[in-house]
Structure 1
Amino acid sequence: MKDNLLKKVVESKTLEEKLKQIAKIIQGKIVFSTSFGIEDQVISHAIFSQNIKNVEVFTLDTGRLFPETYAVWDKTQLQYNAKIKAFYPNSNTIENYINENGINAFYNSVDLRKECCFIRKVEPLNRALVGATVWITGLRAEQSNNRNSVKEIEWDEEKQLYKFNPLLNWTTDEVVEYLKKNAVPYNLLHNEGFVSIGCAPCTRAIKPGDDFRAGRWWWEDQSKKECGLHK
């Protein structure tokens, strides 16, 4: 993509316009990864409600998700009459990990937790991104100090694709307002203090004033809480 084309996307006023522009400009494969959090539900609505056909929506089913996550997954597909492609961990790899280390080994060390994240998330993501030119995400700068340097559109050298973060500068209030205005289905765990929702054993609700990522891997050091999907 040339700089002037990227500029058209960034300067588009609304989320819907940005997605239409990226879909119009890019001739290659465009994918959107959803974990069914409120940010991702906003983007899913914008894609499905506009019937943008050349954006493939996918999710990573780690096998350890909350029942509420599966519920909103199902409700989203039904409400928009849309398909969301699922990618799963390699069965042999996860079997070996569990048989060697235990079903909840990720509590025992950071290395074991990161290995579990790699098996259940990173490796399936890498398969999902094969051949993609643009990867759309629901990243927001407000979510983590580690994401303050992220740009709305940036080149990912490791994955050799463009990463498009259309909600980068949205606030939580703006996300919630969009959901309400458009009657978008959302994960009911958000009503119980869950902000960032991942695997059930590794996610919990947070208290008012806590850091956005405080509910993820709470037994670990607080300095950097990422699973490897976004570096």
Structure 2
Amino acid sequence: MTRSRSDSLLLPLDTGKPDFAAERRLMRDGIPHIVGIDEAGRGPLAGPVVAAAVILDPERIPDGLDDSKRLTARKREELFDIILKTALASGIASVAAPSIDATDILKAALEAMRRATCGLSILPGHALIDGRDVPRGLPCPGTAVIKGDQRSVSIAAASILAKVSRDRMMAQAGRHYPVYGLETHAGYGTAFHRSAMQTHGPVVGLHRFSFAPLKNRDI
């Protein structure tokens, strides 16, 4: 995976909030419809990895956009609805645990990003992707941006859509498999979750068997 453009096009990272500076620089170069891309769920022991792609309307950028990890659950939910209402286009996609096990979590995350972007109703002119890698198969050139969800509001918006979507998926899974407490920890390796796996065993299709402790059968 290679960057097609240096992330130096962004302003230096500071302790402030993400902004629209990188998008405006690209737009001044004649590139329309800048899409921000991010994912949620690389680290959990269960559930899918979920990605989102967002093309914000430059005239209707929601207030309060930030890295989803720096927002409360209530604020993420609030912004989720606002983003969907105001964005020019958005896409959400997931890759399930069996596919993560069949490849690896990085490949699965990049594939989810690709699917989310290819599902947009508007063809993007350039993609800003959180992290170090540009997914193969995007419909436009892309730039990998380290800590992008803290630097670009488009990536921050995508991080919110991905996080809220995944949390909702895990809450639904929790209703099907109540002994694991998925609605509280979203599949991460908490002491409660690990104890539940020891007691009840893992669920095929839900748990990631390529992740420790399942990979080492240390449960």
Q: TM-score w.r.t. structure 1 length? A: 0.36
Q: TM-score w.r.t. structure 2 length? A: 0.37
Select the structure with the greater relative contact order (CA < 8 A; seq sep ≥ 6).
2
